[in-house]
Chain A
């Protein structure tokens, strides 16, 4: 059994293709006749016996011609996949319960189009596509995101029966693609405001007094302001961060793990927090997020919201 599994792994490439572009080679394209192909073969046998029985010389010729057509059909179906260049794309985060879209760029360097391509993940409905000659096309494969966290794209089956439908060629693609899934928001009333105390007292110029979080460094920012520690946190994955200082906040909300119903399970509590983040952002309120062992100070804006949602998605509470 283990041997079979290993053979399958070897044959059908369960291992990852990484995130670099790759080209479909003959070693990873499989081809078998379809049901229509078998029907075609049966028809040919019937026609052949007819041609023998009635001694039809041209009947023989026709059967042999159709036989040749079937044989080159193998070649053409195979070539419809062969040499296709696949570049893994990006995917934007989604909320649990939504469809995550994984994009891939398929490039066709041939002078002829590749039609009737079909991409399928597991048992999902297949996505059909085609690529004109010497172009590339971006294709988004939908997949239902069930759980928060990283959703990895399982291997994708790229298949085709074009041009004759007599043969079915397929290849497994396993590019390194993942999509961040935020918790599914549960909308509950926002918690009561606890930090309006300082409203009106601060007259900051939005300058450099009050630390209000991080933002991506713009080329105009002085290197002195780079938050090296924070930037190093993500192992250099993102651009350098700059500490941001805010002036007086009109309203500030601390979205605290402790404020969610204590009897609910972790996922529900994260979902409630997610709902709050969205509501607060929509209402234009500055909000901070406090999770056990992790805290984001009060802020506002898309970037801040994304940070909060990412924290919620990846929270290991």
Chain B
């Protein structure tokens, strides 16, 4: 064994290893720094050139400084060597540098092992169906390289690839069994580096002018919701996120939390739904307004935002319930109310003055609210993704000069007006609306559905949702952003495409992705327990799972072995060909009796069917040659003779 490993590498094996290296590293070029991809590509090309010219590989003394240099480069780029991205970069560099060191079989084995490992790193960046398929193909290429390495020059390219494909296919049942039954452990096992999870766009915990219009350009999916019953009407679909109470003149932020539970009085029956939220790195969930308290796994804070213990770093599924008609905190603490009346001093004087003028006229708070909404629907306010930049007194400038804004502008201006008029008010961030996918019935909410609205506290009614955007552009709530914005606005192509066929294809593709996310990627320890419970394993633990797994794996191996043995136990090839020859002549109404030898049959044919004589004589000759001759090596003659039979 050791002698085999130390053997020098067959020159003609190298292209396979190059292919394996390329297949396992190429997709990283999309998200790696350009210089890194360029360097790896250069090394790759250099290795290929050396191979082509049959030149000597560079000495170790050249490689060591090269490795050191690469390490310094990665260190400089990522400020660490241990993070996820830095680690991947190092692996890619090692892979390409190993190509300059392919001397022995052992080097090739190391390269291939590295290749298998590199396959895993692609899942840091994407776990979609195309990635999964590509990686199965890449794995097959790596396996083919391994087969070529051990098969020597006799393994031809195409059969080698086919063999690798066969091995992959045979490994698939094992993967399925293990995926479903192998006891799952919830990660992480140890502290994760800072960049462990993909930075993702999405709603943030702060709101300043422009933060929502950026999101509106993204057609990425934020969450998918499956309702147990009917989907509620569109104007009820407010997906509540963080509630922002503190305003510094430009940015809205949530207030440091208080541990006081909210009180919700339900005025409609609860709606149950299951929500799959994409990772957004935040500690709150998006829940249909208003979430019903009393959830087991997460809390609801005093502003009615559903919170989790950890930031959401993976796509996750939650079962939630909501009531769409409710009274929320009719009795509110005075501290909270005070907080929601606060405004930054000496800012936005005109807005404050306007609101105070209303306060003197109107006695009823609802009337003040309506006045503000009437202001938005009347006075030439426009709903646009491209509002002009605003200065220090942003609300004043917006209300009295530009009058062009996106939802965050309207929500902010409305809340400032209310607070100035003495009505406690705050900004709520979240999503509004959603699109039902007719293929799987899921409601899909995209980043472009991100929305900000306001909440005012009215005596006797509690916190009441007010959406000032609806006054400016009723279409935003009724039909979604694509309808609400004028055609000249730059929206992502996906959202503006109105052709039915394109929409149908998109729906289908998203439904497939959803099924993939739900059924395949979402198969976690909890789902496994659930599934095993359904299988009848009332109390799945390591012991009985191991027994079950071992049994199934053993059965699989047995089935595979039995199949190959069965295939082997068939007739020997010569006999097999003779039988096929008999089948051929049976078509010409000549049947061989069980006791008839080939020569006897030939004699009978000579007499009974002279027209077959010469063709059949050739078969008999070839058969006897193949069967009894000392120097036969192949069955080509016999095959050819049989092919010539009528």
Contacts and interface: CB of A to CB of B under 8 A. Distances in A.
A11 interface: no
A36 B149 CA distance: 12
B152 A115 contact: yes
Contacts of B168: 65, 69
A79 B564 contact: yes
A24 B269 CA distance: 74
Contacts of B5: 35-36
Interface string A95-127: 000000000000001100101101000000010
B196 interface: yes
A67 B168 CA distance: 11
Interface in B132-173: 132, 135-136, 139, 143, 146-147, 149-152, 154-155, 159, 163, 167-168, 170-173
Interface stretch (B185-193, B206-214, B215-223): B185-193
- The SS class assigned to the A binding surface is helix
A264 interface: no
Contacts of A67: 171, 174-175, 178
Contacts of A52: 185-189
A50 interface: yes
B162 to A, nearest CB: 10
A39 B163 contact: no
B146 A163 contact: yes
B124 interface: yes
A211 interface: no
A279 interface: no
A68 B170 contact: yes
Interface string B513-530: 000000011111000000
B173 A68 contact: yes
B573 interface: yes
B314 interface: yes
A234 B22 CA distance: 68
Interface string B18-53: 000000000000000000000000000000000000
A83 interface: yes
Given A53-B192, A68-B175, A71-B557, A43 B116 contact: yes
A151 to B, nearest CB: 24
Given A164-B150, A165-B109, A68 B560 contact: no
Contact of B109 (A39, A61, A62, A136): A39
Given A53-B192, A56-B124, A162 B174 contact: no
A162 B146 contact: no
Given A71-B553, A165-B146, A53 B190 contact: yes
7 contacts: A34-B1, A36-B5, A52-B189, A53-B187, A55-B187, A58-B135, A162-B150
Give 6 nearest A-B pairs by CB, closest first: A68-B174, A68-B171, A64-B178, A115-B151, A57-B521, A65-B175
Interface of A: 34-36, 39-40, 43, 46-47, 49-69, 71-76, 79, 82-83, 109-110, 113, 115-116, 118, 126, 128, 130, 132, 134-136, 161-165, 168
Given A35-B2, A47-B116, 7 more contacts: A52-B186, A54-B84, A56-B127, A68-B172, A68-B174, A83-B568, A163-B146
